[in-house]
């Protein structure tokens, strides 16, 4: 496929099927390293051509240990934007038309000319984000010598975006969408995030007259359970679980997307007091007239229960055109199960426990993993937490460096010369002066009173970007 094909105006990229056909010939080897989440009895869906087939066996621990590690997120601080024929050139990416929307930005189809692969590029306007949240700041004029950040730290909405980036850079799970590259130029309004492209789109559009069978719903729900368990393990509350945020990968498995309203927490659970997410998927404890704290994990479980109900009935259990009436139904109306389609008593019992209006007695993720409907009466258990979760920590320093500045080539050459000489002195000064200084302070050039610089040197030396520049 030629790179120019991405810019053809006649393509209807709003159709997920055509989008899948458009990128069917691309190299998706890297995106197909996703292992199946336990034993699968067969394909999740047989009457729809865009549902993928997966392996029907459980992967061994040896195979899990040999899984290829995720590539580090690329961070770019210099962005060149030019108008091409029917598309926008953003560094090595060709941006086409919009293919979706996130919580605070649009998503466009992007073709990477270097890797010859397609990605989903999330585009965020920093000005618009702060204006909508009441934190609008005027950018300094072009060419200004001011060293002040055009978007100061007081601009909390933008800080939340960088927090999301820092979180996504650390996450590596086969049921969570991966962040590939971040492009953020201080002189440009746009913040761009390149994600792996999920060509099959959302797992389901709600409402629909074509809901899943129980087997299909179980297949996808198990993926959601493992993805949420992974997030909770890393102290992250998603807060916006719904079918449109569950995207289908090339292997037919679900990946959780859109962390725009997510929260991090400390301790065993998050105690939240603010409302966020989609109204029809919000838990009843969020709709009290007076401010109170509620469990973050329980919020995700409620949203998962609404999602599972959507899987088998094609609609939400509580719905009303007016938000006040919707809140009343969520708080007071018991969940009702239509006569058609007919579902098992085990599934009804699980949905009822997930949609328990009391968060204290609501079923938990560990209990969901052991539920007879999820495990098919124990014949198809889910992997243990330690088998698919690994420790991760997002530090304040990593949030500040969520997008790093790449130095100029001359700076890289200078640093590499210092590394070879094992000295912070000027590598271009005469040999005599350098020899005198080294004799007067032997061994003192690799450390300072502010602490050792060994780690700093290692980071510079091992950075692939620097290696490529100097070679």
Q: Where are the domains of the chain?
A: 3-196, 214-396, 409-470
Burial per residue of 255-264, b for 16 or more beta-carbon CB atoms within 10 angstroms, e otherwise: bbbbbbbbbe
Look at residue 299 and tell me whether its pLDDT is greater than 70: yes
Q: Tell me: the pLDDT tens digits for 102-149? A: 657 789 999 999 999 999 999 998 888 777 666 444 445 544 444 444
- pLDDT averaged over the chain? 74
Catalytic positions are: 240
Contact 247, 380 (CB under 8 A): no
Q: Higher model confidence: residue 466 or residue 73?
A: 73
Q: Higher model confidence: residue 83 or residue 148?
A: 83
- At residue 192, the pLDDT reads 93
**Confidence bin at 408 (pLDDT 50/70/90):** very low
Distances (CA, A) of 16 to 6, 19, 107, 197, 209: 15, 5, 14, 12, 18
Contact 61, 387 (CB under 8 A): yes
As a whole number of angstroms, the distance between CA 253 and CA 52 comes to 8
Q: Higher model confidence: residue 399 or residue 360?
A: 360
As a whole number of angstroms, the distance between CA 253 and CA 313 comes to 20
- At residue 32, the pLDDT reads 40
Taking residue 336's Cβ as centre, other Cβ atoms within 10 Å add up to 7
Least confident of 234-243, 259-268, 439-448: 439-448
Look at residue 23 and tell me whether its pLDDT is greater than 80: no
Alpha-carbon torsion (222, 42, 172, 212), positive or negative? negative
Q: Any idea which architecture 214-396 has in CATH?
A: Orthogonal Bundle (1.10)
Residue 170, annotated as binding a ligand: no
| Lookup: tokens for 57 | 């066996």
Q: Tell me: the pLDDT tens digits for 307-333? A: 999 999 999 999 999 999 999 999 999
- At residue 253, the pLDDT reads 97
CATH of 3-196, one of 3.40.50.150, 3.30.200.20, 3.40.50.2300, 3.40.50.300: 3.30.200.20
**Confidence bin at 419 (pLDDT 50/70/90):** low
| Lookup: tokens for 268 | 């065993």
Report if pTM > 0.85. Answer: no
The single residue listed with the structure tokens 């009436």 is 325
Contact 200, 45 (CB under 8 A): no
Look at residue 378 and tell me whether its pLDDT is greater than 80: yes
Span between the terminal Cα atoms of the chain, in Å: 31
As a whole number of angstroms, the distance between CA 460 and CA 177 comes to 29
Look at residue 375 and tell me whether its pLDDT is greater than 60: yes
As a whole number of angstroms, the distance between CA 73 and CA 398 comes to 12
Q: Tell me: the pLDDT tens digits for 50-60? A: 443 333 434 43
Q: Which of 447, 110, 375, 388 is nearest to 222 (CA)?
A: 375
Average pLDDT (268-288) is 89
**Confidence bin at 380 (pLDDT 50/70/90):** very high
- At residue 70, the pLDDT reads 54
Q: Tell me: the pLDDT tens digits for 239-270? A: 999 999 999 998 999 999 988 888 888 899 88
- At residue 4, the pLDDT reads 42
> To 5 degrees, how large is the angle CA 242–CA 244–CA 250?
115
Say how far residue 122 (Cα) sits from the centre of its chain: 11
């Amino acid at each position: 496929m030629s790179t120019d094909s991405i810019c053809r105006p006649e393509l209807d990229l709003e159709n997920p099927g055509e989008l899948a056909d458009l990128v069917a010939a691309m190299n998706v080897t890297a995106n197909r390293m996703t292992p199946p989440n336990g034993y699968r009895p067969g394909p999740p869906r047989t009457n729809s051509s865009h549902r993928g087939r997966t392996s029907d066996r459980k992967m061994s621990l040896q195979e899990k240990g040999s899984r290829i590690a995720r590539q580090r997120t690329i961070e770019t601080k210099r962005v060149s934007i030019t108008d091409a024929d029917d598309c926008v050139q953003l560094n090595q990416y060709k941006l086409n038309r919009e293919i979706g929307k996130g919580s605070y930005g649009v998503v466009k189809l992007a073709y990477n000319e270097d890797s010859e692969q397609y990605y989903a590029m999330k585009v965020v306007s920093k000005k618009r984000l702060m204006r909508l949240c009441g934190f609008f700041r005027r950018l300094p004029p072009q060419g200004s010598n001011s060293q002040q950040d055009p978007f100061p730290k007081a601009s909390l909405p933008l800080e939340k975006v960088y927090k999301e980036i820092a979180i996504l850079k650390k996450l590596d799970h086969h049921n969570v969408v991966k962040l590939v590259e971040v492009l953020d130029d201080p002189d440009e309004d746009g913040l761009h995030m390149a994600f792996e492209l999920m060509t099959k789109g959302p797992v389901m559009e709600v409402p629909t007259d074509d809901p899943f069978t129980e087997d299909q719903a179980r297949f996808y729900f198990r993926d959601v359970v493992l993805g949420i368990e992974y997030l909770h393990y890393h102290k992250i509350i998603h807060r916006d679980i719904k079918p449109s945020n569950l995207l289908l990968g090339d292997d037919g498995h679900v990946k959780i997307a859109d962390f725009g309203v997510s929260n991090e927490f400390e301790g065993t659970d998050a105690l939240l007091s603010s409302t966020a997410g989609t109204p029809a998927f919000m838990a009843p404890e969020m709709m009290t007239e007076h401010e109170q704290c509620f469990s973050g994990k329980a919020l995700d479980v409620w949203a998962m229960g609404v999602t599972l109900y959507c899987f088998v009935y094609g609609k939400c259990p509580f719905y009303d055109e007016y938000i006040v009436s919707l809140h009343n139904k969520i708080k007071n109306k018991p969940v009702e199960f239509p006569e058609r389609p007919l579902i098992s008593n085990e599934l009804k019992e699980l949905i009822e426990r997930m949609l328990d209006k009391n968060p204290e007695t609501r079923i938990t993720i560990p209990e969901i993993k052991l539920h007879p409907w999820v495990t098919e009466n124990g014949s198809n258990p889910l992997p243990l937490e330690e088998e698919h979760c690994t420790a991760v920590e997002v530090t304040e320093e990593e949030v500040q460096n969520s997008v790093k500045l790449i130095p100029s080539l001359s700076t890289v050459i200078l640093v590499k010369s210092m590394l070879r000489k094992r000295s912070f002195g000027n590598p271009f000064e005469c040999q005599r002066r350098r020899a005198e200084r080294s004799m007067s302070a032997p061994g003192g050039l690799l450390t300072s009173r502010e602490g050792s610089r060994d780690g700093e040197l290692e980071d510079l030396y091992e950075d692939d970007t620097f290696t490529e520049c100097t070679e």
